[in-house]
Chain A
């Protein structure tokens, strides 16, 4: 049987040993290619959870396994390489490096991960295809990212997260800066491209109306 994309078991985290736990999760599993809607108010430890899945932080107890690999068993630099190879991130805002062009921003993961670079035969053509699939004007490709509108920037971020078909896509409130009508469109486009890439999706949002687009849904409590 294929390992789940994400398997979290008995996870607890606190910033300092003396402090109370700021995050506790019993069991969360996301199967390969499936999507999970994670709902939680601010302060419920969403950012912490993303850092834990990204391998930037390690839990106090319990474990996070990605693709069957417990992250705690890897060294810090191996976790960085693992993140580059298998994960794509989209954040709430400021996703892009302002002085790089749209195209260079999308191609960033291929620069850091040989594995993702090897999965796309022609990186530039793949970037164009992804951006077109996400409904972005191809004329913007050579522009510096800083000149784009917020909505356009989020699409570029999505293309970057998906290039090289990472197994896991993490989206942290990517739609909160968009208006309601465009939120749904963005989520639809994102999910269809993720399906195409075969990526499992974890989508974090405080907006419950979006939950209907996803396979599963989970509420984080404070």
Chain B
């Protein structure tokens, strides 16, 4: 079969224009398939690592997915708050290494406001256990200091020193602004591609301070406490929305989870973020499957083009095939020759698209990671991709058998002298 490789290469080169266009179609189709596969994988990883390094997310007892949705993605609302005393009691457990309280409820221009403590900037991790990095400024220290996520800063065009006012709730209703107590931007975080980018971070005490003269979600009529006197009040938070726990040893996680579930004073729930995020992805992952399906369809179109070109070339190649038979090629050689040619085109297409995808990942990966929260795009071929590539070759082999079979029949009928 070795002589056939040489002949197949020369023959293919002789028809390089039509085969070149077919190669282009195959390359684009495989590139699409590979890109969708890689982005899908990266999106999944990025999503699963929206928060990492956290062992437990704790909130009022509810559906675990609901807890993750509001605590991490700020979608929906907590059914109940967590008492500050409960938080302190659990955070004091000897197994707990660090804790980050989260207080939600306010917003700024549609971006969620997160009340927390400086521990957030120290212990919060995302992606591959990456810490938060400041693009400018530093963590909040004063009462009315705010730290912005990257997207908040770019979308609203804020710089350090900017004065901003927060709104109560989602900020939809008029007259719900905390206009009397403006905040100063003291820090801006670098992009993470996670919900962090959309957060406005202030201290827990600031959350207390802006709500001193509020009750039941509206300002108390006739009561206005100016910003300069709030420090005279007790700013110890009474409740928070949820909190994150990091443990000294991961092995303690189930024991602590049970302990929190059995907490007597109020009904609480602790979830392992990885498990919950995976569950969440199952529900939003339909889109990726649809994308992959469409990519396979595009690949099928590419293969149909290849088969059409091979079939169309057979008539002009009948003499060539007869000559090959006269020097000793059997019909099975002819079959092999055509299959080989199709597979060569496919192989070249796959190699080209691997090059394209790898270059794209190398050049555009960091940008994609920052913009869309994709975890870093892989440069090497993964096991899943190998399976994908095997599928591509199997499909190409099946399709190439069609023109090859026709050539086989033709060369049997023509013998040494083609009847044209």
Q: List residues of chain A with CB under 8 Å of any chain B CB.
A: 47, 50-51, 54, 56-57, 76-77, 80-81, 83-85, 89, 91, 94-100, 104, 108-109, 111-113, 160, 172
B416 sits at the interface (CB 8 A): yes
Q: Which residue of B lies closest to A46 (CB)?
A: B417
B6 at the interface (CB under 8 A from A): yes
Contact status of A54 and B416, CB under 8 A, knowing A80-B329, A84-B327: yes
Instruction: Check A51/B328 contact, CB under 8 A, given A99-B10, A111-B3.
Output: no
A51 in contact with B416 (CB, 8 Å): yes
* CB <8 Å contact, B328 and A94: no
Residues in chain B near residue A108, CB distance under 8 A: 3, 324, 327
Question: From residue B270, how far is it (CB to closest CB) to chain A in Å?
Answer: 71
Q: Which residues of B contact A91 (CB under 8 A)?
A: 326, 416-417
- Which residues on the B side are within 8 Å of A54 (C-beta)? 326, 415-416
CB-defined interface of B1-32 with A at 8 Å, one 1/0 digit per residue?
01100110011011000000000000000000
Instruction: Point out the residues of chain A lying under 8 angstroms from B333, CB to CB.
Output: 80
- Do B416 and A89 touch (CB < 8 A)? yes
10 A/B residue pairs, CB under 8 Å, sorted by A: A47-B417, A51-B415, A56-B325, A83-B326, A83-B328, A84-B329, A85-B328, A94-B319, A97-B7, A113-B328
Asked if B330 is an interface residue, CB under 8 A from chain A, the answer is yes
- Chain A residues lying within 8 Å of B320, measured Cβ to Cβ, are 97-98
Q: Which of B319-344 contact A (CB under 8 A)?
A: 319-320, 323-333
**B328 lies within 8 A of A81 (CB):** yes
- Most B C-beta atoms less than 10 A away, residue of A47, A77, A91, A104: A91
A160 — which chain B residues lie within 8 A by C-beta? 327
Alpha-carbon distance between A50 and B323 when the two chains are bound, in angstroms: 14
Name A84's closest neighbour in chain B (CB-CB).
B328
In angstroms, how far is the closest chain A Cβ from the Cβ of B13?
Answer: 7
Q: How far is the CB of A127 from chain B (nearest CB, A)?
A: 14
Q: Which residue of A lies closest to B12 (CB)?
A: A99
Q: How large is the interface on B (under 10, 10 to 19, 20 to 34, 35 or more residues)?
A: 20 to 34
Bound form: Cα–Cα A77–B332 in Å: 8
Q: A57-B415, A111-B6 are in contact. Are A96 and B323 (CB under 8 A)?
A: yes
Residue from B6, B11, B330, B333 having most chain A Cβ neighbours under 10 A:
B330
> CB-CB < 8 A to A76: which residues of B?
330-331
B3–A51 touching, CB < 8 Å: no
Contact partners of A96 in chain B: CB under 8 A = 323
Which of B2, B327, B332, B416 has the most chain A CB atoms inside 10 A of its CB?
B327
With a CB–CB cut-off of 8 A, which chain B residues contact A95?
Answer: 323
B417 in complex: contacting residue of A51, A80, A100, A113, CB < 8 Å: A51
Q: Closest chain B residue to A57 by CB distance?
A: B415
Bitwise interface map of B from 283 to 315 toward A, beta carbon under 8 Å scored 1, else 0: 000000000000000000000000000000000
A53 → B minimal CB distance (Å): 9
Known contacts A96-B323, A97-B320, A109-B327; A56 and B11 CB within 8 A of each other: no
Taking CB atoms, residues of chain B closer than 8 Å to A77 are 330, 332
Chain B residue at minimal CB-CB distance from A101: B10
Closest to B417 in A: A47
* Residue in B13, B326, B332 whose beta carbon sits within 8 Å of that of A99 in the complex: B13
In the assembled complex, the CB of B46 is this many whole angstroms from the nearest CB of chain A, namely: 50
**B319: chain A residues within 8 A (beta carbon):** 94
Task: Please state if B327 and A112 are interface contacts (CB–CB under 8 Å).
Answer: yes
Which A residues touch B6, using CB under 8 A? Answer: 111
Chain A residue with the shortest CB-CB distance to B419: A47
Q: Are B417 and A99 in contact (CB under 8 A)?
A: no
Enumerate chain B residues within 8 angstroms of A104, measured Cβ to Cβ. 10
Besides A50-B416, A83-B328, 5 other CB < 8 A contacts? Answer: A47-B415, A80-B330, A98-B14, A100-B7, A172-B417
| Cα separation A112 to B2 with both chains bound (whole Å) | 9
Whether A97 and B330, one on each chain, are in contact in the complex, defined by CB atoms closer than 8 angstroms, is no
| A94 in contact with B323 given A51-B415, A77-B332 (CB within 8 Å) | yes
> Quick one: given A81-B328, A96-B323, are A56 and B416 in contact (CB under 8 Å)?
yes
Give the residue name and chain of the B residue nearest to A78 (CB).
B330
B10: shortest Cβ distance to chain A, in Å? 5
A50 to B320 CA separation, bound complex (whole angstroms) = 18
A97 and B324 form a contact (CB under 8 A): yes
CA distance A112 to B329 in the complex (A): 7
Q: Check A112–B3 contact: CB distance below 8 A.
A: yes
Q: How far is the CA of A26 from the CA of B325 in the complex (A)?
A: 28
- Provide the residues of chain B in CB contact with A98, threshold 8 Å: 14, 320
Q: Give A111 Cβ to nearest chain B Cβ, in Å.
A: 3
Complex CA–CA separation, A100 to B3 (angstroms):
13
Pick the residue among A99, A112, A172 that contacts B328 (CB under 8 A).
Answer: A112
A-side contacts of B7, CB under 8 Å: 97, 100, 111
* Alpha-carbon distance between A76 and B334 when the two chains are bound, in angstroms: 14
A125 to B328, CA, bound (A): 22
* B14 near A80: Cβ-Cβ < 8 Å: no
Residues of the A chain whose Cβ atoms lie less than 8 Å from the Cβ of B329 = 80, 84, 112
Point out the residues of chain A lying under 8 angstroms from B327, CB to CB.
84, 89, 108-109, 111-112, 160
- Of all A-B residue pairs in the complex, the 6 with the closest CB atoms, nearest first, are A84-B328, A111-B3, A99-B14, A80-B330, A112-B328, A56-B415
Question: What CA separation (Å) do A108 and B331 show in the bound complex?
Answer: 16
Complexed CA–CA distance, A109 and B13 (Å): 22
Query: A76 CA to B411 CA in the complex, in Å?
Result: 13
